[in-house]
Chain A
Amino acid sequence: MYRIRRFAVRHSRQFEWIYNRLESALVALAPVLSRIGYNRIERPVALIEKGIKGLLFDCQMCGQCVLSSTGMSCPMNCPKQLRNGPCGGVRPGGFCEVKPGMRCVWVEGWNGAARMRGGDRIREVLPPVDRRLAGSSAWLRASREKAAALHEARERERSTLANAFPTARRIEPSTAPLADEPARAIGRGKTG
């Protein structure tokens, strides 16, 4: 609904906070979720996501949510579906070129972003929409990607030694640590 959508943009900072909590929870739950199987939970989660975000943001379930980078104003509601707006046709007072009765989604977006902690993300050039993802859960996709990235980063911290003895690392973890030992543990931190 238009009125609720505008409310959400006015409170972009609060919604940013809420979403970040939700995402952290999903990232933390990633091992559990992947054991249950992301495929099995995809449908029910997508349904819930659609209900909540549909109400709040007039979400169209593009499946690749960018609300955190667009001031909590859903760009799929822009009649031109711009991912990097606004266009040059914005009417005086910030109304949409195509639907003169509607506030430009992107004017709202830039204003919303200015209220957010991570509002600068709106300055990043976003890629075009992948139409194959329509209807799927962006919450699961985003959290899964983040969890994978975290995992990868941790893997990279593994010492060369750990990589050279992968099996030993699994059965006797202390023989091939994941990361550098704290200085105190190896007798270098005593003076500090």
Chain B
Amino acid sequence: MSQFDQDPNAIRRYAPPPEGHVSGSKLELALRAGHFAVTAEMNPPDSADPQDVFKAAQPLADVADAINATDASGANCHMSSIGICALLTRAGHGTVYQISCRDRNRIAIQGDVLGAAAMGVRNVLCLTGDDVGAGDQPGAKPVFDFDSLTLIRTIRTMRDQGVFLSGRKITSPPNLFIGAAENPCVDPLEWRPDRLAKKVAAGAEFIQTNYIFDMPRFQAFMSRVRDLGLERKVFILAGVGPLASAKAARWMRGNVPGIHIPDQVIARLEKAENPGEEGRRICVELIQQLREVAGVAGVHIMAYRREHLVADIVREAGIAREQRPA
């Protein structure tokens, strides 16, 4: 029997969130319970086969409280975030539906938010989006009708006030846990915490940061975040990932927008006999250090094309679900 033969009456809206929660997603439950949460980014397939989605998610499924489905990140075309989320949520996985402002205007985005929630999505991540020039179709028209903050505020309005931005009523508002990104280690370093404050003011409830390879920079960021009291208002998941080699690290630094990798890290990979293994070890060490930073509520693992390492990394760092205090 194919998935399309189900009785439509059996497809219901997911249960309302428990008391004190906005979505009841696994990620929200873990964070509010005080666990050190793990999210992981999935490599979206260039395919129309649902099995390819499940295959890509499989290495992350056991260790992640939610799997992030990227929205044409780096402006490269892949299966859509909403499509991936629809499949994964149906299969019982927690998902983070990423929305970039680059490709769709406010009409499309608000409609998709409802569609995603109807299909069971409970976490969203609001992103500005990389420039189209960074991707495989640089001739595309960049939209940027919203920016990440107006998007956050819009979804908050849809959820909490039960209306579209136009004021029109939504009969059954989406129960979503609303996230945003932050990039603590790139310029303007002195203003990054203030921009985070703005995201919190806009309505963000969790933050997934870009890659942290530079602990001193991140420490400085977090100390200012704590001065502003933001870590008490928002859950911060620090971004990490295993680097494959010095060459790959250099390429990322030079070609992917917003990535800062200090020279020492690259030098360490260069000297290593087995750079892949060294990259994995660096990642584990970073997680262990991040865990000690006051105000860090979890990690967000972006292991592009190295997803097979994620489960090991999580266990070795001692943050797997089965390693959590009961």
Q: A: which residues have CB within 8 A of B? A: 79-94, 97-98, 104, 106-107, 110-111, 123, 125-129
A82 touches B198 (CB 8 A): no
Rounded to whole angstroms, the CA-CA distance of A82 and B127 in the bound complex is 12
B131 touches A92 (CB 8 A): no
Nearest A residue (CB) for B154: A128
Rounded to whole angstroms, the CA-CA distance of A127 and B194 in the bound complex is 18
Residues of A within 8 A of B197 (CB): 123
Q: B: which residues have CB within 8 A of A? A: 101-102, 106, 128-131, 133-134, 142, 144-150, 153, 181-183, 186-188, 191, 194-195, 197-198, 201-202, 210, 257-258, 260
CB distance from B145 to the nearest CB of A (A): 6
B188 touches A83 (CB 8 A): no
Residue from A88, A93, A97 having most chain B Cβ neighbours under 10 A? A88
**With A97-B258, A128-B106, A128-B145 in contact, is A80–B128 under 8 Å at CB?**
yes
A80 touches B187 (CB 8 A): no
Residues of A within 8 A of B128 (CB): 80, 82, 87-88
Nearest A residue (CB) for B130: A89
Nearest B residue (CB) for A90: B187
Nearest A residue (CB) for B127: A88
User: Among the listed B130, B142, B146, which residue makes an inter-chain contact with A128, where contact means beta carbons less than 8 Å apart?
Assistant: B146
CB contacts between A and B, total, < 8 Å? 97
**With A88-B181, A89-B130 in contact, is A128–B147 under 8 Å at CB?**
yes
B131 touches A79 (CB 8 A): yes
Residues of A within 8 A of B194 (CB): 110, 123
Residues of A within 8 A of B258 (CB): 87-90, 97
B131 touches A89 (CB 8 A): yes
Main secondary structure of the interface of A (DSSP, over half): loop
Residues of A within 8 A of B202 (CB): 84, 125
B187 touches A91 (CB 8 A): yes
Rounded to whole angstroms, the CA-CA distance of A110 and B260 in the bound complex is 21
User: Among the listed A110, A123, A126, A127, which residue makes an inter-chain contact with B188, where contact means beta carbons less than 8 Å apart?
Assistant: A110
B150 touches A88 (CB 8 A): no
Rounded to whole angstroms, the CA-CA distance of A85 and B142 in the bound complex is 16
Rounded to whole angstroms, the CA-CA distance of A128 and B186 in the bound complex is 25
Residues of B within 8 A of A104 (CB): 187-188
